[in-house]
Amino acid sequence: MRDRSPAGRSLSPRPAVARRRAHPFKGVYREVAAPERVVFTQVYDVEPFSIHEVIVTNTFSEQDGRTTLTQHLLFDSLEARDGMVASGMERGEAQSFDRLDELLAELGGSGGAGARGPRAQSSSSPATSTRRAI
């Protein structure tokens, strides 16, 4: 279920490719400025992670016919960020982006063609950022 209006709710059970089990997320849209920016909260609704809310900012920019998605995640603490990274979050994100590439290719776009950008993680900031051409 998704209500993409500001303050709208999002519930998203995502099947894990490797383990074939659902990964439930929930959140609230804070800002929708189509087509360039979406801000929402995200909670990985599995203990012990469900106590941590992440603020996700997705920014889309276009240059030379290619769209770049920049995703910035702001965690409530360094411990929460490090715990989510240690939980396999990066692997799950990579799988999600791979699936997005496949979908875009099916729809006639070029997809990201494996064009993962750098993942930045500051040791003094509870934030991570990813940039990817899609």
User: pLDDT truncated to tens, each residue of the chain (134 aa)?
Assistant: 456 566 655 555 454 444 556 778 889 999 999 999 999 998 888 887 788 889 999 999 988 888 888 889 999 888 888 887 877 777 878 888 888 888 888 887 655 544 444 444 445 556 666 666 65
Q: Report how far residue 70's alpha carbon sits from residue 62's, in angstroms, rounded to the nearest whole number.
A: 11
Give domain 9-109+126-133's CATH superfamily: START domain (3.30.530.20)
- Report the pLDDT value the prediction gives residue 122, as an integer from 0 to 100: 45
Q: Coil, helix or strand for 13?
A: strand
Instruction: For residue 97, count CB atoms less than 10 angstroms from its CB and return exposed for 0-12, middle for 13-18, buried for 19 or more.
Output: buried
CB-based contact 117:129 (threshold 8 Å): no
Residue 109: alpha-carbon gap to chain centroid: 20
- Report the pLDDT value the prediction gives residue 108, as an integer from 0 to 100: 78
Q: Coil, helix or strand for 17?
A: coil
At how many degrees (to 10) do helices 78-86 and 89-106 cross? 70
Beta strands, E only, 2-122:
9-15, 22-33, 37-44, 54-63, 66-74, 116-121
Q: Report how far residue 71's alpha carbon sits from residue 56's, in angstroms, rounded to the nearest whole number.
A: 7
- Report the pLDDT value the prediction gives residue 119, as an integer from 0 to 100: 46
For the chain, the straight-line distance linking the first and the last C-alpha, in angstroms and rounded, comes to 24
Token representation of residue 75: 């965690």
- Domain residues of the chain, as ranges? 9-109+126-133
